[in-house]
Structure 1
């Protein structure tokens, strides 16, 4: 039995457990305003389930835990996520609340050149709570991955996230992607988003945050300022967009000073700027599970992000592990020359074999 009196459905240990809302996504059949698009293609979307799917595709054992409606959209959601090899046995189905859905235009979600219409109010996922979820299944991974989207959904979701980020002996390594979504918090009566997200991030072991969202949410400018506001996590990753990413980790001697590792982003022929943040987190977590050096964890994050950026949707086929390892092992000069375009994860060429003395000015694949 679980702590909340329910039978645990998935007690076996997974590499990663990801908890959060996933929704059915409707993608436009052509560019244009939502009012003008005649038809849509169905897909799935959700920060935590995106991370779960990428990790499963990369060969890890992964469990996604959430709530979906006992409806056709919920069936599709669970089947689609399970199709990536993700364990969905601990997903709860709610007969009284619907599965969340949303529509978006083909524009870039990171700019104003897009429209998104969410239909998630009162969704099954908004009923996630300490009492309605299997806490044993949620805590059954080596890593528990959460995001700041979940606590924005309802007071119950916030209570669940607070429970999972409370520092207690024996908990899994807690990964938290800040994912500040001002629109979700705008009408929330259960807390002020920036304050809540800072509180939750302080309870995590590993935190991902974009420098842009840290600036918008907390008024912090630069990675060092973010670290000063978040000294508690053992490892803090500040994503700096096209510039790269900086990780603060460990302590270097009696002074307790951080080690700081920065890795520049790759040059990428971008198809669509969607899903890159989730893919970066998945790449970093994958390398963390393998206990790789922090520099290589950042590089694997960039490589997974490049995979997402070079496909139209949120989810991309990740590079084979040996392919990613070869690229992550490039020297700094070769890494800086690397440029990735559509199809690079499927390419049989080994760009790492074409680097070194006498290499071309730019290493490009395919």
Structure 2
């Protein structure tokens, strides 16, 4: 079989058709919905493709109209969907949500994904050559919760290896998907096998009971070369070990010697440092002030912005700023997915001096009209 093309990013996971309410209110009261798409990994794939990267989405959808819509919608962003398989026996997942912020008690989500086509992904039906033919492989904890087969697949992909793509893992804890006792240890094990990990500060407290902030989370997760702790509207902190390219989160470049792992090739575990034993760089970047329309999908957008900057070899500070900016593009729209700012626009804002960055105000429409992203000039 012909070897798959090596792309910048492969994102593996379920996407669903999303039904968004036409007005605020309880699901019981909303009379109509508009159709969209939603899924953590496909959100990342679409945002990265829109930012100019070569991206492949690997998943399964039903042989139904919703599956057709998903594949067409993701492909419209420029994502390679040729590795998405159609399942004749299982449906495409769908979900409904209210217009409220996910962080509020009024927010409702109704998932219809049990037994979905994507939940049938396993190590036996996902081609490892397709998955590993990339510089970064992006995964999330949502996939691990879908089925035993999906969990086995993620454990294989985050298992011991000596080369191949960087593995990016977003904790993405969804309490409604997990049997109560399982999530903490499963997510911890997967995260410890990844090279780049994204986790929210509040999420770490919910899953693992960690209350000491980013440093305490790093003590729990010393293994990943790069750990990104999202701290909501305050900003984000990144920890990077100084222990070689892979540990430092430098995406391998096939043009300069990076080689995806061949199926069946022997690999060895990378050493896991004890907390505080390895030199590391720690950088905090505050988030700009954002006029929020809806928060759903912002975490996926942040990961996409950070990974885009990682692929470009930008410094840690710039990686966090690009994460914030891509998240802000989604925060200022009601949908799960939003076109990111142009690369030139994002680069300009990411290069602002610290005081100018601190005055940044981002309102709906700022990605379309650069002047909407303004620095607030103090009154004399």
After TM superposition, is the score higher than 0.5? yes
> Which runs of structure 2 are paired with 1:163-312 in the superposition (5 Å)?
163-186=156-179, 192-221=182-211, 222-251=213-242, 256-312=278-334
- C-alpha spacing 1:252/1:318, structure 2 compared with 1 (3 Å): same
Question: SS at 1:137's partner residue?
Answer: helix
Cα distance in 2 between the residues matched to 1:309 and 1:20: 22
Does 1:70 find its partner at 2:70? no
Cα distance in 2 between the residues matched to 1:351 and 1:50: 23
Question: SS at 1:198's partner residue?
Answer: helix
Cα distance in 2 between the residues matched to 1:28 and 1:194: 33
Partner residue of 1:94? Answer: 87
Cα distance in 1 between the residues matched to 2:378 and 2:133: 47
Cα distance in 2 between the residues matched to 1:37 and 1:350: 32
Does 1:126 find its partner at 2:143? no
2:96 to 100, 103, 121: 103
Does 1:34 find its partner at 2:27? yes
Question: SS at 1:31's partner residue?
Answer: coil
Q: How much does 1:252 deviate?
A: 8.6
> Which runs of structure 2 are paired with 1:311-330 in the superposition (5 Å)?
311-330=333-352
Cα distance in 1 between the residues matched to 2:139 and 2:326: 19
> Which runs of structure 2 are paired with 1:141-152 in the superposition (5 Å)?
141-152=134-145
Question: SS at 1:118's partner residue?
Answer: strand
* Residue deviations 1:229-266 (CA, integer Å, cap 9, x gap): 11110000000001110000023999622210000011
Cα distance in 2 between the residues matched to 1:299 and 1:223: 18
Cα distance in 1 between the residues matched to 2:176 and 2:112: 13
User: Is contact 2:365–2:372 with CA below 8 Å preserved after alignment?
Assistant: no
Partner residue of 1:4? Answer: none
> Which runs of structure 2 are paired with 1:6-85 in the superposition (5 Å)?
11-85=4-78
Measured on the aligned residues, the alpha-carbon RMSD in Å equals: 1.8
- C-alpha spacing 1:252/1:154, structure 2 compared with 1 (3 Å): closer
User: Is contact 2:363–2:373 with CA below 8 Å preserved after alignment?
Assistant: no
* Residue deviations 1:147-184 (CA, integer Å, cap 9, x gap): 00001000000000001001212220000000011110
User: Is contact 2:21–2:99 with CA below 8 Å preserved after alignment?
Assistant: yes
Partner residue of 1:5? Answer: none
Cα distance in 2 between the residues matched to 1:108 and 1:275: 11
2:358 to 336, 355, 358: 336
TM-score, length-scaled by structure 1: 0.91
Cα distance in 2 between the residues matched to 1:322 and 1:29: 34
TM-score, length-scaled by structure 2: 0.88
Cα distance in 2 between the residues matched to 1:244 and 1:277: 12
Q: How much does 1:123 deviate?
A: 0.4
Cα distance in 2 between the residues matched to 1:171 and 1:59: 22
Q: How much does 1:38 deviate?
A: 1.4
* Paired residue total: 347
Between stretches 129-138 and 201-210, larger displacement belongs to 129-138
Q: Mind listing any 5+ residue stretches in structure 2 that lack a counterpart?
A: 245-275
Cα distance in 2 between the residues matched to 1:135 and 1:41: 36
Cα distance in 2 between the residues matched to 1:80 and 1:263: 33
* Residue deviations 1:219-238 (CA, integer Å, cap 9, x gap): 11210111001111000000
